[in-house]
A and B are shown apart, each in its own frame.
Chain A
């Protein structure tokens, strides 16, 4: 697969988040699940934003998957997502914040893996 960075882009990567107001505190991570807010206005976005929305029309994806599919660096898509979350277009499901894993999550993972 050709990575997005191997091609020289006509529009530089950083433009993807250029016109968005990005909140000062960003909690978006690689594994944050992102999906379209039910009542979001989805028109009038810049091309990167509308590409992202087209990608999410089928359901939630992690930010990292979005970056790979859009062919943009993760650090840019992180800002793009944060900006659209701030504007109310996207919603997120954040990964658990604690460093010590929750025992219930561990059990879910174990049972799930064993059942495969």
Chain B
């Protein structure tokens, strides 16, 4: 476990702001949270169950009635605000957790992988159903095919106004550019 005591702290004057990074397994959520976070990213597990998480310790129980899923968590302190980044899988079976995570979030950055574009549909469904503002970043892998963004937009059936860009999840500058595109989009929506 990372030592909390060596971490920098924010002040209580900072406004906490939540951003969610969603995408299928292996798309680069952990990587991008790591590229953006000022703290060593925390990898926690969420217990998903309808009831009883408070009273039932399910460790060692054979008939597993809960699902756990890994969440990547990072922090980025800016003047006046502190961004909390949640990297969450976008499977429909995580609906309950998903609803709670996106509540009050500034927006969602959806990460897509053009080698497995079909796996992004479930994530986009969740985002659309939640009615949350989002942008899509294609994480470019060395062996990713070079599709023009317009065909990716078509394949994902994105609204023409939804920001779509290519990013390198390992590169902090590229990761930040994706966040900036998302927040600019949210600002336009709020102002319109």
Do residues B180 and A74 form an inter-chain contact, with CB atoms below 8 A?
A: no
Q: Does A95 contact B (CB under 8 A)?
A: yes
Query: What chain B residues lie within 8 Å of A116 (beta carbons)?
Result: 78, 176
Do residues B16 and A93 form an inter-chain contact, with CB atoms below 8 A?
A: yes
Query: What chain B residues lie within 8 Å of A109 (beta carbons)?
Result: 17, 78, 81, 83, 106, 183
Do residues B191 and A65 form an inter-chain contact, with CB atoms below 8 A?
A: no
Do residues B15 and A105 form an inter-chain contact, with CB atoms below 8 A?
A: yes
- Total interface residues on A, CB under 8 Å, equals 55
Query: What chain B residues lie within 8 Å of A5 (beta carbons)?
Result: 45, 47, 59, 68
Task: Write the nearest CB–CB distance from A24 to chain B, whole angstroms.
Answer: 15
Give the interface of B toward A (CB within 8 A). Answer: 1-2, 4-5, 7, 9-18, 39, 42-47, 53-55, 57, 59-60, 68, 73, 75, 78-84, 86, 101, 103-104, 106-107, 176, 179-180, 183-184, 186-187, 190-191
Q: Does A29 contact B (CB under 8 A)?
A: yes
Query: What chain B residues lie within 8 Å of A95 (beta carbons)?
Result: 15-18, 104
Q: Which of B12, B13, B43, B187 contacts A3 (CB 8 A)?
A: B43
Give the interface of A toward B (CB within 8 A). Answer: 1-3, 5, 8-9, 12-14, 17, 29-33, 35, 55, 58-62, 64-65, 67-69, 71, 73-76, 79, 91, 93-97, 99-101, 103, 105-116
Query: What chain B residues lie within 8 Å of A103 (beta carbons)?
Result: 187, 190-191
> With A1-B2, A14-B54, A14-B55 as given contacts, are A111 and B176 in contact (CB-CB < 8 Å)?
no
